[in-house]
Structure formats: structure tokens, C-alpha cells
Amino acid sequence: MNEMNRPDAWLACTLAGLRAVEDARIDEAASFWRDSCAFADNLPDEDPRRAAALSNLGLGELVASRRTQAIAALSAARTQWRNVEAWIQRVDIPSTASSSMFHFLLAANHPDVLTGLRRKKYLTLCAGAAALTESIYDQVCADSAEPDHALLRAQAIQAAFGEDATGTRVLVDLTGASPARRVRIVKSTEAQWRSVAKNTVVEMRPLIDAAYLTVGLKPDSGDGARPHRD
């Protein structure tokens, strides 16, 4: 198999970027996520990992003060998440190997009901990951989202990952206009991803990997600083 087509290469680069951003090695993180995008470009058009790669790259470019590149990556990620949503709406979702007897009986007697529940779960996860991307996009554009939009995004993230599901990582914010460097909180769901992924059928693993490894950025605390415009 061509090296550029290996999904495990996408995963390795994605995780390496996360490790780098945790250590505030911003340029290195962006480089890893750029490589992740290169691998993702060789995946199917609707593969969720393409959206995650672009979103993470946009975050890396943002905190490295490369606003133009960040906007380009995040805009592409927003479009890609919409493609993923359309894919989930029509994909054939198989039963999980660990399904209970109740679920097997439900599938036998009411197959449409069980399929609908599974599809709703994956659509919720996609919406949460897309909301992470949208929140970063608002910040890189220095735009304040309408209060109702911000609330809907927060609700989508919570519905997908849980109120207390995300760990926090602190890194230096290099994009602030203030001379004093502020900090941002990067939210990672890596630990939760490992737990969920091992109980997911292989057909839906790309979505699980993409959603849980899309890194979120907590909004500024209101100090008035805005991203630098290059």
C-alpha cells in the first residue's frame, strides 16, 4: 500500500500534533497536522478524518499567528464536516460486536428503530466535532458569534462528548495583540477516544477517530485581545 494511503499514518501524525501542542511546540504541531492533511487527502472524499485534519491544521496555524492559512484550513474543514453529515445520513451502519441481547432482539423485530438510534448517535458526534471547528473559526476571524449560535455550539459539543468529557491542556497563545502573553485552553478528548474506539465497528471507526481527535479551543476569557491579522 502506498505510504500516503495509510490511515495509521494519519493517526500517527494527528497524535504527534496533539503531543506537540500540549508542550507548546506550536510550529511542530502545525507541521504534524499539515502532514496529517497530506495523508487525509488520499482518503475517500467523505472520510471524516479529512475534516479533523483540516480543523486541527487550522488551530495550529491560528496559534502560530498564520491567520490566512488558518482561515483557509478551517473553511475547508467546515465544508468537509457537512459532507460527513451527508455520508452518515445514508451509510449502512452495522451492529456492534458487543451489542446486548436486547439490541439483537430489537434489531430482529424493529430494525428501522435500532438503525435510526445508531444513526442519531453518529450524527450527534459529527455535530459536536463540527461545532469545535466552528468555534475556532469564529475566533480566527475575530468575530463574535451570536449568543444563540454560541449556545447551540456549546450544546452540540456537550451532547457529543459529555459535560466533563474533555481534559484540558494549557499552551502559550502567540496570536494575542496584548504584549503580555495570555494562555488558551486546548481541549482534548484523546482518553475518551481510546475507550470508545475499541467498542466501535470498523466501518464507523473513521468517524470516531476524527471526532474525538478534533481539538477544540476554549474561547478567550474576555480580556479584549484579538488574533493578529497577517
pTM over 0.85: no
Residue 83 amino acid letter: N
- Position 73 scores a pLDDT of 96
Mean per-residue pLDDT, 42-48: 92
CA distances from 213 to 19, 31, 65, 113, 204 (A): 12, 16, 22, 29, 14
Q: What is the pLDDT of residues 77-95, one digit of tens each?
A: 999 999 999 999 999 887 6
Domain positions in the chain are 3-217
Terminal C-alpha separation, the chain: 40
* Residue 12 exposure: Cα atoms within 13 Å on the Cβ side: 10
- Position 191 scores a pLDDT of 74
d(CA 131, CA 145): 12
Confidence label for 18 from pLDDT (cuts 50, 70 and 90)? confident
Confidence label for 181 from pLDDT (cuts 50, 70 and 90)? very low
Mean per-residue pLDDT, 207-215: 92
Q: Which of 39-43, 61-65, 180-184 has the highest mean pLDDT?
A: 39-43
More confident residue, 150 or 134: 134
- Position 150 scores a pLDDT of 79
More confident residue, 217 or 152: 152
User: Who's near 11: CB < 8 A, 6+ residues apart?
Assistant: 209, 213
Q: What is the pLDDT of residues 152-174, one digit of tens each?
A: 888 888 888 886 544 443 343 44
**Could you write out the DSSP letters of every residue in 31-46?**
HHHHHHHHHHTTS-TT
